[in-house]
Chain A
Amino acid sequence: MEKYVYLTLFAPLAGSLFAAMFGMSKKNLITGIVTSALLFVSLFSSLMLLGYVDEEHIVKVNLFDWISAGNFDVSFGFIADQVSVIMMVTVTTVSALVHVYSIGYMDHDEGFNRFFSYLSAFVFSMLVLVMSDNFLGLFIGWEGVGLCSWLLIGFWYYKKDLPREIYPAISPSWAANEAFIMNRIADLGMLIGLFLIYWNVGSLNYDVVFKNIPNVDISIVVLIGIFLFIGAMGKSAQFPLHTWLADAMEGPTPVSALIHAATMVTAGVYLVVRANEVFSLIPNVGMFIASLGAFVAVFAATMALVNNDLKKIIAYSTLSQLGYMFVAAGLGAYWVALFHLMTHAFFKSLLFLGAGNVMHAMNDELNIKKMGGLYSKMKWTAILMIIASLALAGIYPFAGFFSKDKILEVAFSEHAYILWFMLWIGAGLTAFYSFRLIMLVFFGEERYKRFGFHPHEAYAFMLWAMAPLGVLAVISGFFEHSFKEYVTAILPDYEAHIEPHIVGYVLIALTLTMALSGILFAVYKYSRGGFSKKWEETWIYKLLFNQYYIPQLYEKFITKPYAELSKIAWKDIDLKIVDSTVDFIATTLYDAGDKSRVIQSGNLSKMLRWMAIGLIVLLIAAII
């Protein structure tokens, strides 16, 4: 079975290197085909592992010893246990389909080969992240996906910078840097967490760490939990490090689907799930994680309500769904978090790929106010996106219903009624903005005609690439029981206890009602032309539309002062102190040389005189 582990892991790397050979040359279809084929190899072998791994069969491979210094011993080891296999299958499924889709989406792009090289490199890093059997390997993958995310957000790096008033994300390269820097801030937290683990346990291997962590002083465990979660907050874009995710939509849409919806941003959730032995020791930190998650779930959903940018709406909904996952993980229902992670990956990437089709049809226009009535032109895209939106809203029998409802049940049975209420509100908001998007894009007046667009359906094979995700978005919820049995072999079992039984059904009904009323309200409102102009004048609309003014606040209170500080450090400290010291030494030497140059007159009699003086000096020195 080891060969499948290697195949899963290294097939994307091989594809990436292959595509990289054509990196600088013109579009070559073979890069897209080879990388996609290798991704299917990877998918196939992870499915083989999925079938093989059970309680007795956990595949561990040790590639080679990596660092061995004193007591510190880390090897390049990989593990395929239930949790990582689930992640591997999710990652490879979504990325294989996104690869195929990208062949069509990037059809006319100059950087076709470069794109596939980056995309496969991303998959490789993500697989290193989820398959590593120690925290250091996870960290390497963690940084690897960060790097690939930076490369792909800034894929169209040549676009010009614009002021924030005109264009909220400024430019792709700006957005890429923002994402990278925010993640570095969080990664510092994660690194401190890893150092603390090593100091207190003496190893970074999962097995050793989790076996010894109960013996560690509880205050240290709290610190470890907090710092690891700070790392997770950055990658999963939780408040207050969330602004990068919306700006990351500057990247090509398949990238948003793969990295900024389905896989990379869920790495934070994966970390919390993977380190469940640590987090289950410290329920207070777990409660904090859950509260933050619930806050983000509502906070991000409200921003999605009024945004007019097709991709940003979906990005905020990703944020909000990540909040749901953290609620489950924080409350100790790790398998529920993992389950929602998986179903979310399927329907959210589907939603993004659909958005990509719409963008293609509309010549990269993103303002949904300029669309409308596209259903007649792009029927299949519309159907797939409606399926994804129903799944996102949590309507029975779509996948989102099972996982999201489970999270609400968890919140209720933990007596966290406030969290439950927030999530319940969030469910309604989710349903509303999803269908606001659907209504504005696919139904109603055909506003695009006024702007002179000629929409057309995407290539058939792109739709075929989306179809499996559509199927999964519908059916993956029904695997709930087998999923639970599978992963609880290593994750703590969790069963929501709601007494009496009838309350549970009432809760489900309440949630469904909330979601349905959100949908119906959106359909009702936007089939009649939407809200009046007066609504856009209110302060609450402006507050939401400007993302609570958080990007502006960051710019004013962090970025600008930091830039000022850097300027002072540059002009006053560096130029005036450091540089002048160095220059002083150099000029002194130079002047001394200039002054003593006259000694070298080349005149023999003068030299003889100097020689005599030297002799006398030496004689005197010898005598004394």
Chain B
Amino acid sequence: MITLTHYMVLSGILFSIGMLGVIRRKNLLMLFFSTEIMLNAVNLGFVAVSKYIGDLSGQMFAFFIIAVAASEVAVGLGLLVLWYKRKQTIDLDSLQSMKG
């Protein structure tokens, strides 16, 4: 039987993977993937809890997050393409024009 705990653990594991990606990866595209993973880990958690307590607002929130994430990725990828055209690289360390 798959219980809420399983869902939450899976969500936690996914979030950690995403976070690790955010910290470790230098490729901007990979960074986007990692953030998507983190967002969807949270979505998973929302949906599971919503089903468990029988309240639909969690699932509604998940849809919102998907929509927002999609638009964010659209803008982000657009910028990324521009950046690549200018610099011929999407390495994170090249995005460094302000240094204290």
Chain A interface (Cβ < 8 Å from any Cβ of B): 597-605, 608-609, 612
B100 engages A602 (CB within 8 Å): yes
Is B23 interfacial (CB-CB < 8 Å)? yes
A597 engages B100 (CB within 8 Å): yes
**In the assembled complex, which residues on chain B have CB atoms less than 8 Å from the CB atom of A601?**
96, 99-100
* Interface bits B71-96 vs A (CB < 8 Å: 1, else 0): 00000000000000000000011011
Closest to B97 in A: A602
**In the assembled complex, which residues on chain B have CB atoms less than 8 Å from the CB atom of A605?**
23, 25-26, 92-93
| 3 A-B pairs with least C-beta separation | A600-B100, A602-B98, A602-B99
Closest to A596 in B: B100
**In the assembled complex, which residues on chain B have CB atoms less than 8 Å from the CB atom of A599?**
100
**In the assembled complex, which residues on chain A have CB atoms less than 8 Å from the CB atom of B99?**
600-602
A604 engages B22 (CB within 8 Å): no
Is B19 interfacial (CB-CB < 8 Å)? yes
A603 engages B22 (CB within 8 Å): no
* Interface bits B37-76 vs A (CB < 8 Å: 1, else 0): 0000000000000000000000000000000000000000
Closest to A608 in B: B22
Question: Of A598, A600, A604, which contacts B92 at CB under 8 A?
Answer: A604
A612 engages B23 (CB within 8 Å): yes
CB distance from A518 to the nearest CB of B (A): 89
**In the assembled complex, which residues on chain A have CB atoms less than 8 Å from the CB atom of B26?**
605
Chain B contacts with A in 2-26, Cβ cutoff 8 A: 19, 22-23, 25-26
14 further A-B pairs in the complex, CB-CB below 8 A; given A599-B100, A602-B97, A604-B92: A598-B100, A600-B98, A600-B99, A601-B96, A602-B96, A602-B98, A602-B99, A602-B100, A603-B93, A604-B96, A605-B25, A609-B23, A612-B22, A612-B23
Closest to B100 in A: A600
A129→B35 CA distance, assembly (Å): 84
**In the assembled complex, which residues on chain A have CB atoms less than 8 Å from the CB atom of B22?**
608, 612
CB distance from A46 to the nearest CB of B (A): 76
A612 engages B19 (CB within 8 Å): yes
**In the assembled complex, which residues on chain B have CB atoms less than 8 Å from the CB atom of A608?**
22-23
Closest to A601 in B: B99
A/B interface sample: 10 pairs, CB < 8 A? A597-B100, A599-B100, A601-B99, A602-B96, A602-B100, A604-B96, A605-B92, A605-B93, A608-B22, A612-B19
**In the assembled complex, which residues on chain B have CB atoms less than 8 Å from the CB atom of A600?**
98-100
Closest to B19 in A: A612
CB distance from B90 to the nearest CB of A (A): 12
A604→B23 CA distance, assembly (Å): 10
CB distance from A394 to the nearest CB of B (A): 88
CB distance from B89 to the nearest CB of A (A): 14
A612→B99 CA distance, assembly (Å): 20
A469→B19 CA distance, assembly (Å): 103
A608→B25 CA distance, assembly (Å): 11
**In the assembled complex, which residues on chain A have CB atoms less than 8 Å from the CB atom of B98?**
600, 602
A603→B92 CA distance, assembly (Å): 8
Closest to B25 in A: A605
**In the assembled complex, which residues on chain B have CB atoms less than 8 Å from the CB atom of A609?**
23
CB distance from B92 to the nearest CB of A (A): 5
CB distance from A594 to the nearest CB of B (A): 11
A609→B31 CA distance, assembly (Å): 13
Closest to A599 in B: B100
Closest to A611 in B: B22
**In the assembled complex, which residues on chain A have CB atoms less than 8 Å from the CB atom of B97?**
602
**In the assembled complex, which residues on chain B have CB atoms less than 8 Å from the CB atom of A602?**
96-100
CB distance from B16 to the nearest CB of A (A): 11
CB distance from B57 to the nearest CB of A (A): 23
A612→B98 CA distance, assembly (Å): 21
Query: Chain B CB within 10 Å — which of A600, A608, A609 has the most?
Result: A608
A604→B97 CA distance, assembly (Å): 10
A296→B92 CA distance, assembly (Å): 93
CB distance from A613 to the nearest CB of B (A): 9
**In the assembled complex, which residues on chain B have CB atoms less than 8 Å from the CB atom of A597?**
100
**In the assembled complex, which residues on chain A have CB atoms less than 8 Å from the CB atom of B93?**
603, 605
Contacts A609-B23, A612-B19 known; A604 to B100 CB distance under 8 Å? no
**In the assembled complex, which residues on chain B have CB atoms less than 8 Å from the CB atom of A598?**
100
Closest to A609 in B: B23
**In the assembled complex, which residues on chain A have CB atoms less than 8 Å from the CB atom of B23?**
605, 608-609, 612
A478→B25 CA distance, assembly (Å): 113
**In the assembled complex, which residues on chain B have CB atoms less than 8 Å from the CB atom of A612?**
19, 22-23
CB distance from B62 to the nearest CB of A (A): 21
B19 engages A604 (CB within 8 Å): no
A414→B93 CA distance, assembly (Å): 104
Closest to B20 in A: A612
Closest to A615 in B: B19
Closest to B93 in A: A603
A179→B97 CA distance, assembly (Å): 67
A598→B99 CA distance, assembly (Å): 8
A612→B38 CA distance, assembly (Å): 13
Closest to B34 in A: A608
CB distance from B44 to the nearest CB of A (A): 19
Closest to A616 in B: B19
**In the assembled complex, which residues on chain A have CB atoms less than 8 Å from the CB atom of B25?**
605
**In the assembled complex, which residues on chain B have CB atoms less than 8 Å from the CB atom of A603?**
92-93, 96
CB distance from B34 to the nearest CB of A (A): 10
CB distance from A422 to the nearest CB of B (A): 84
CB distance from A605 to the nearest CB of B (A): 5
Closest to B91 in A: A605
A280→B66 CA distance, assembly (Å): 100
CB distance from A86 to the nearest CB of B (A): 79
CB distance from B95 to the nearest CB of A (A): 5
Closest to A603 in B: B96
**In the assembled complex, which residues on chain A have CB atoms less than 8 Å from the CB atom of B95?**
604
**In the assembled complex, which residues on chain A have CB atoms less than 8 Å from the CB atom of B92?**
603-605
**In the assembled complex, which residues on chain B have CB atoms less than 8 Å from the CB atom of A604?**
92, 95-96
A605→B100 CA distance, assembly (Å): 15
A601→B96 CA distance, assembly (Å): 8
CB distance from B39 to the nearest CB of A (A): 15
A508→B99 CA distance, assembly (Å): 100
Closest to A613 in B: B23
A189→B26 CA distance, assembly (Å): 80
A603→B93 CA distance, assembly (Å): 6
CB distance from A597 to the nearest CB of B (A): 5
CB distance from A362 to the nearest CB of B (A): 76
A604→B98 CA distance, assembly (Å): 10
Closest to B24 in A: A605
CB distance from A107 to the nearest CB of B (A): 71
